[in-house]
């Protein structure tokens, strides 16, 4: 099956184009990231050591509480943020954080996006329409 478009719930933020960074792990801004260096810092995370800055971050589910909102905004202000955040399942705090940070964000997709998308995919994300389009796949 060759999926080129994936639909999710209507999201937050402006449309963007960029390269995906994908893992089926869950996501916490507080416990998974070194926000000063812009990399995943939890050793047990699949993306440990990877830079998320300027990438479309594709993960399974949001973890964490109220600190996520100000952390996302701080990451955007310090230019240490992902380009967009795509989650299979988000919590209200993560959605509020994305809105507070004006970070493009979409969740609740029609399929498991961590299984369909792969790191290096060039994506177009249109949050207002809940649309993710695969524009180019990495070549082997």
* Percentage of the residues of the chain whose pLDDT score is greater than 70: 98
Tell me what the mean pLDDT of segment 72-79 comes to.
94
Determine the pLDDT at residue 140.
66
Confidence of residue 64 (pLDDT cuts 50, 70, 90): confident
| Segments making up each domain of the chain, as ranges | 5-136
DSSP E strand boundaries for 13-136: 16-22, 33-34, 39-40, 56-61, 84-89, 105-107, 122-126, 131-136
Per-residue pLDDT tens over the stretch 28-59: 998 999 999 999 999 999 999 999 999 999 99
pTM value is 0.95
> Quick one: CATH architecture of 5-136?
3-Layer(bba) Sandwich (3.50)
Tell me what the mean pLDDT of segment 119-129 comes to.
98
Confidence of residue 67 (pLDDT cuts 50, 70, 90): confident
């Amino acid at each position: 099956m060759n999926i080129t478009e994936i639909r999710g719930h209507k999201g937050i933020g402006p449309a963007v184009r960029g390269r995906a960074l994908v893992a089926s792990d869950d996501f916490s801004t507080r416990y998974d990231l070194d926000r000063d260096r812009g990399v995943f810092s939890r050793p047990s995370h699949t993306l440990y050591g990877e830079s998320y800055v300027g990438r479309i971050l594709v993960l399974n589910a949001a973890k964490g509480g109220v600190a996520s909102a100000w952390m996302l905004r701080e990451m955007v202000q310090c230019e240490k943020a992902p380009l967009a955040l795509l989650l299979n399942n988000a919590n209200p705090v993560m959605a509020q954080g994305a809105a507070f940070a004006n970070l493009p964000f979409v969740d609740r997709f029609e399929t498991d996006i961590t299984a369909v998308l792969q790191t290096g995919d060039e994506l177009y994300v249109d949050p207002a329409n809940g649309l993710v389009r695969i524009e180019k796949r990495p070549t082997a």
